[in-house]
Amino acid sequence: MTVAVPVLAAVLAYTAWRGWREGTSRWWLPPVAAALAMAAVPLLVAPLKALVDRPGPPGMDGHGGFYPSGHAATAAVAYGACALVVLPLVRSAYLRRELVIGCVLLNAGIGLGLVRRGYHWPLDVIGSWCLCVMLLQVTALACTRLGPQGAPSDRAA
Each residue of 31-84: pLDDT tens digit? 999 999 999 999 998 888 888 877 777 776 656 667 888 899 999 999 999 999
pLDDT of residue 99: 93
Q: How far is CA 102 from CA 11, 70, 82, 149, in A?
A: 16, 21, 11, 27
| Domain map (residue ranges) of the chain | 4-151
Q: Indicate the range of 29-33, 34-38, 140-144, 150-154 predicted with least confidence.
A: 150-154
pLDDT of residue 148: 60
The angle that helices 70-86 and 93-116 make with each other, rounded to 10 degrees, is: 170
Each residue of 101-132: pLDDT tens digit? 999 999 999 999 999 988 888 888 998 999 99
Q: How far apart are CA 157 and CA 148, in angstroms?
A: 16
pLDDT of residue 60: 66
pLDDT of residue 45: 87
